[in-house]
Every structure is written in C-alpha cells, then in structure tokens.
Chain A
Amino acid sequence: MTHHAPDQDSRTLSAHFARGFGLAYTGLMRALEPPFAAIQKRVGIKGMAYVFVAPNMIIFSVFVALPMILNIWYALTGSNRLMIGERPFVGLDNFSALLDCKDYLDVNSCKQDRFWRAVHNSVLFVALQVTAMVALSLVTALILNGKLRARGFFRAVFFFPVLLSPVVVALIWKWILQRDGLLNALLLSSGGERVAFLHDASWSFFWTVFVSVWAHMGFYALILLAGLQAIPADLYEAAEMDGTPKWRVFWRITVPLLLPTLLVVVILSLIRAVQAFDEIYVLTGGGPGTATQFIVQYIYETAFANQVHLLGLAAAASLLVAVVLMVLTLLQLRISYHGKTS
C-alpha cells in the first residue's frame, strides 16, 4: 500500500480535472461546429457577425429598446389603466398639458404647476450641486495629489461615501439633521437654539445639495486625481526652475492640461444631478411642501405613488428629461472626442 503526500494527491486531481475539462470543451466545440458551419453556409461569412451579436441584441431589445418604445406609447395615451390595449390614444395632449404655461418663470401660471416646480427646483439644484461638486472635487484632488502624510488613507476616506447605498447615506444624514438629531443636540448643548434643518424650505434645499455633494464627491475627485497624475512632472519641474509662482503654475499648467478631464467631470456630474432622486427622496421626501421635489421624484409620484396613476403624464415628463440628458450626453461625447483628437 502506497501513501501519497496530500499535495501530490491534489495535483493528480487537478490534472485529471484539467484533462476532463479539456476533453469536454473540445468535444462541445466539435459538436457545435456542424450547425454553425450550416448557418455560415446560409448567411455567409459577413452574416456570421450578426449571428454572434444576435443574443446581445435580443437582450437589448427586450430590456432597453422595448421599454423605450412602450414609454413613448404611454406618453401618447391617456387614462389610469396600465394595460396598453385599455389606454386611449391622446396624441400630444400629455406634452401640451406639461408645457401649458403662461409664464414659465411663474409656476403658478402653469397647468401642471408641480411639474414646473420640480423643473425649477432641479435647475437650481443642478446649478448649485454641480458647481459645488466640481469645485470641491478639484480642491480635494489637488490636496490628495500633493505631498501629504497618510495620502492613501485620505484617498480612501474621501472615496468611502461613494461605496455607500444612497438610502444608507440619506438615513445617516436624516439621523443627524432631524429635529432630535445629532446636529440639533450639539447646537442645544452648546447653548444654541434648535434649527429646523429638514422642515425649513431653504435649509432643506441646502442639505439636499450638501448631502449629494458629500456622497458623490469622492468619485469625481478620483477622476480628477487621475487627470492630475497624467500631467507630465517635468512641466512642473521646469516651472519651478524658472521660479514661476504657484498660482501661475496652477492657471497656466494644471488647469489647461486638466481641462478635458474637468469637462468630463462637469458633464457626468450634470447628468447625475438631473437624475437625483433616491437619497433626496429618503432624506426629505420632496418636502417641506415641494421645496426639494425634483423632476425624477415628480415622475415617480405621478406614475406610481399617487392613488390615480397618471402614467401618460409621467411618461411624457420622462421623455422631456430624456431629451435633456441626451443633449448632455452628446456634449460629453463631443468633448471626449475633441479631447482625444487634440
């Protein structure tokens, strides 16, 4: 009776497994060869590309293209029924209801005032959030790119909120900001007065911007950090030898060379800001009143949360948002293309 060492046994087992797998794979490929050869004979060598792409296209059609077409159809039909066959065709009525305004700057003059309140809120949110996001991400990236003790640790710290679920982010901040939350407890213990952080319209809006920036800044800072590290170090060395002041180095070397990355960050954060929903919905529920109700929440509530589901109106609003996002995406593609060619 012979005794093998355990590692020798496992090596033998692995070798058997590899051989078995190899045989099965070769056999399978050979078994598939005749049907594929027959297909190739029928569709030609060029047609085979379509055959191989077909599974992916079927998945794309079912899960992306079909819902898009359905969304367009919902936007052109009325009633609160879900089934398409039960929905009467209303043409562009949903779009004209959404766009029916005497003065687009005065939401009270609009037929769908909630839609326009959401649009106004979203525009203000995008302007404030994107500005703050880009500025703070840039500052963070510049600091993290410098000579900093425990740089790796700080990079992880700034990136950590990105890993959190938006619901978790919102719940953490709700716990801090609510009436009996951590921030008010600190204020009271230091002799201050309680502040209605989530129930005052202005405060509430401020915190939606703040929390959103806090949660996503790490991601954009990381992109900018990669951009900063791609700038050749010899340019900085030459500037240092010439005795160029630091602010001049920043404006003449860092900013121009970082510009393509910066533009990508602006566009990405812009798209994300237009889509803002989850963390804000959990944090403020769109309140107080409609002070923090943004466009995606309007679409969600119109379609699903209200007792009468106005699916057509919500679909029409979502198409209008899609147009805005498409323009922004094209802009990003153009910038990326321009960046590559230049």
Chain B
Amino acid sequence: MFKQLKTITGGLMALCMPVAAMMAATNTAKAADPTEVRIMWYSDGNEGDVMRDLLDRFEKQNPDIKVMLDRVPYKTVVEQLPALLDSGQGPDLARVTDLGGLSRHYLDLRPHLKNAKYFDDNFASSLPWFRPATGNKDGIYGVMSQLALTLPLVNTTLFQQAGIPLPGPKATWDDWAKASKAVADKVKAPYPMAFDRSGHRISGMSISMGGKFIDGDKPALVDAGFKSGMKNLVDWHANGTMSKALWGSVGGTTYRGATEEFANAQVVFYMSGTWQFTQFAKTVAKNFEWQAVANPCGPAACTGMPGGAALVPIKATKNPQAVARVVEYFASEPVYEEYHARTLFLPAHAGLAKKGINYVTDDANVKKSLAIAVEQVAQTSPIAFKFQGYEHNRILFNAMISRVNQAISGEMSLDDAYTRMQADIVEGFAAKGIKLQ
C-alpha cells in the first residue's frame, strides 16, 4: 500500500510542478500588468468602433492603463446595469442614457482630474444632468458621449413622388400629420407617421403643445398641453396616420423603433432623433433621399427633447485615477472632436459647438440633417432641457408609454390612462422613498 501511495504522491507532485511554475509566471506578469479599466458600452451606430480606435491610441500613450470596451446591447444597459450597480459590482465606466436615474452610483471625478476647469468651461450645460440630488453641487460625474435631440426624419423622395411639398419650418403637428397621410395614401406607403416607442420621443411634442412635466422638483405630468399631445397619438392611431403595427406590436414599456421600416422606405415621417444619422447613412445610402426637419410646432413651442448618452464613472471602481485619465483623454478637445466628426454626433462641448465640427461624411442627406439638427438645438425649449435633467424623468416616461399604449389599443379611455399614469408615478416615487401625496 505504501508503494502505491508513493506512486500516487509522486504522480501528483509531477502534475503540480508545471501548475506551480505557471502560477509563478502569472504572478511575475501580474506585477507588471497595466491597470485595467472596463467600460460597458452600447452603440447605435459606429461609435463603438471609433471609441475602440481612440482607446487603442490612449493605450499606446498610457501603457500603464488597459481599457476593456465591453460592447453590449442597449437592453443590457437598461435592464442589467442598474442591478449590477445596486449590488456594488459593474464596470468602471459605462455609457448610459438614464443620466439622472443612475446618478447615485456615479463617481465625482473633480478630485481626480488634472484640469477640472476645462470641464466647467466646456460642459457646463450638461454636467448638472448627472449630478445626484445628494451629491457634490459642482461635482463632475461624467461627460456626454453624444448630445442627441429628438426630431423628425422625413423621406423626401416619397414627398417628391407624391407631388406634395414638404411643410415649412413653422408647420404644426397637424400640418405634418395631414401631409404625411396624404403622401402615404398617394404612394401606398404603409406607415405615414412613426414614432419610436419611447417617452422621450413623445415628450417633445407634448411640450410643444404646452406640457410642463415638472413643477419645481415635483412631477406635474397631466396638464392641458400633455393631454393634447396624447390625444394626437391616440387619434393618429385611430385614423391610420400611425400604424398599430409599430406602437401596438409590443406592450409595457418595451422600446420599439421604426428604423428598419424607414430604411425600407415604408415610413414617410419618422419621429426619432439625431443618433440615427450614422445608421441611415449606411442602411439607406443612396436608395432614397431623406433629411431631418425642424420639430413641428404646437401652441407653446416647436421643440424636441434633448438627451443622449454619457460616459459616466462608477463609484465602485477601484481605480479612480485611471478612470479619470480615460475620461480626461476622451473629453480632450482633439479626441472629442474626432469622435464626433467620425460618429456624426452633436457635441455637448461648448467650444466645439461654437467652432463647428467638420463631419466625416459625403452623404448629402446626413450633411443637410446635421445642419438642421444644430439649428434645432438652439431652438429647444428650456422646459425640455429642464425635464431632461430631472432625476426622476424615467418614472414619467414609463408611466406615459405604458398607459397611453393601453389607450391606443382600446383597453382604456384616455382619461382612465391619465389616472393610471398618476398612480404609476406615485408608486414609482414611493419605491424611491419619496412620498408625493
């Protein structure tokens, strides 16, 4: 037996020796390993590729930092990132769109930045969007990776084929609805108007109709302006201006865009936003002519909703200095300019907005649309900016989307939908520990 045990022990030792050697090698390598910074990143267009390219350059300049760009679907950022952050895990940085909703997890970079004044000077208008209610009042909790604005995209070829002129820059929602329906009827397009199924998209219209959304720090969703906006949506679904095949095809708060339908020339008027330009430059190419147009007017304004995505540092990071260096590199003027020029996004950088960006595109549709978008940013209602910066805006977005959808599908009247929206908002705030009534 002793002999057998000796054989086994000998075998095990022989097995262990290479493992031990490997572990020793790993430990030696570890000592020289660069600091790893992980970014959770989703993309609408080519921004993931552009970012990776820029980060490769950063790594060459900063060999002590390795940046892992974890590319995930948008749904992961919306559904899984909050749970990860709540459990104290998650990446070092993330690209998010719920700027205020996740703000309690953000890290104030001000103490770690070499030149915080640069951020104050160039990102002043968007910095408050990330600041948590209980955080540092002048904290730097992130940097916009894309300033977006909701605005309509129009298939101008369909208008030409129908022989109907595009409504002018001060055209109302009603004008656009009638014109889009007329075009669709004439050219047999299945979707006269389409809206992304998102609270953000319908908020711009409601603000134009007179909606206020917030009163001080409290939600004030249902007012006459908001009701006019919602009534438009329900009426357009009822009279065929909007198709239930898009909004009605899903339930709850599920997002549903109409990008495929627009790229297939099935949509005349698509209420979406500036982030679609890159995608349509690629998918539509020269198949037909399209362009962004000015946001339709209501009695109160002609506005879209600002928004976009931001690169935010996460409080739980173990490497705040390295994270600050990555953010500082990304926000630096030449890098930020190149990123926006190649992704065709609007910059949130005051200096660049003033100077203008030389976008890398030959696409006439995109060029025309970018010019319109820049004009539209200047015309965006202050209410829209305020609502975008409101920490709890997602509670309102969720309530309006899910309930107006029930009104569209005929499950409840619009008045009942308003009552339910109010109840949902009270419930959402209660879950965050805020009592409204």
List A residues at the B interface (Cβ < 8 Å): 23-24, 26-28, 30-31, 78-83, 108, 111, 113-114, 117, 178-179, 196, 198-201, 284-293, 297, 301, 304-310
Contact = CB atoms under 8 A, between A and B. Distances in A.
A78 B432 CA distance: 9
Interface stretch (B20-28, B312-320, B375-383, B405-413): B405-413
B75 to A, nearest CB: 9
A289 B413 CA distance: 12
Given A80-B432, A304-B83, A308-B428, A286 B8 contact: no
Contact of A307 (B1, B4, B83, B101): B101
Contacts, number: 128
B248 A199 contact: yes
6 contacts: A79-B433, A81-B86, A113-B420, A200-B244, A286-B254, A304-B83
B249 A285 contact: yes
A285 B251 contact: yes
Given A196-B244, A305-B252, A307-B98, A289 B432 contact: no
A301 B101 CA distance: 18
Contacts of A31: 5, 8
Contact of A306 (B4, B87, B243, B253): B253
Nearest to B85: A82
Interface stretch (B147-155, B349-357, B392-400): B392-400
A63 to B, nearest CB: 17
Contacts of A26: 4
B419 to A, nearest CB: 10
Given A79-B432, A179-B245, A289-B409, A27 B4 contact: yes
Contacts of A78: 430-431
A78 B427 CA distance: 11
Nearest to B8: A27
Contacts of A24: 8, 11
Contact of A287 (B5, B87, B248, B397): B248
B250 A284 contact: yes
A301 B253 contact: yes
Given A83-B86, A308-B398, A308-B428, A291 B8 contact: no
Interface residues of B, number: 48
A287 B405 contact: yes
Given A285-B256, A290-B406, 18 more contacts: A30-B1, A79-B432, A79-B433, A82-B83, A113-B420, A114-B402, A285-B250, A286-B254, A287-B249, A288-B244, A289-B406, A292-B251, A305-B252, A305-B254, A306-B253, A307-B395, A307-B397, A309-B431
Interface in B1-19: 1, 4-5, 7-8, 11
Contacts of A293: 251-252
Nearest to A30: B1
A306 B398 contact: yes
B221 to A, nearest CB: 15
A30 B83 CA distance: 49
A82 B83 CA distance: 7
A306 B254 CA distance: 9
Given A79-B433, A284-B251, A293-B252, A199 B244 contact: yes
Contacts of A308: 394-395, 398, 428, 431-432
Interface of B: 1, 4-5, 7-8, 11, 78-79, 82-83, 86-88, 98, 101, 190, 243-245, 248-254, 256, 394-395, 397-398, 402, 405-406, 408-412, 416, 420, 423, 427-428, 430-433
Given A26-B4, A288-B409, A307 B245 contact: no
Contacts of B412: 108
A27 B7 contact: yes
Contacts of B11: 24
A132 B405 CA distance: 31
A319 B251 CA distance: 24
A27 B98 CA distance: 61
Contacts of B4: 23, 26-27, 30
A289 B410 contact: yes
A114 B411 CA distance: 11
Contacts of A301: 252-253
A201 B397 contact: no
B320 to A, nearest CB: 22
Residue of B83, B248, B416 ringed by the most chain A CB atoms within 10 A: B248
Contacts of A196: 244-245
Contacts of B82: 309
B428 to A, nearest CB: 4
A91 to B, nearest CB: 15
Given A80-B432, A199-B248, A288-B248, A304 B253 contact: no
A285 to B, nearest CB: 3
A308 B414 CA distance: 23
B136 to A, nearest CB: 22
Residue of A27, A82, A306, A307 ringed by the most chain B CB atoms within 10 A: A307
B410 to A, nearest CB: 7
Given A199-B249, A290-B251, A30 B5 contact: yes
A83 B432 CA distance: 14
Contacts of A286: 250-252, 254
Contacts of A291: 251, 409, 411
Nearest to B254: A285
A26 B8 CA distance: 10
A214 B250 CA distance: 22
A307 B251 contact: no
Contacts of A305: 79, 252-254
Contacts of A292: 251
A285 B402 CA distance: 12
B253 A289 contact: no
Nearest to A301: B252
Contact of A201 (B79, B250, B405, B409): B409
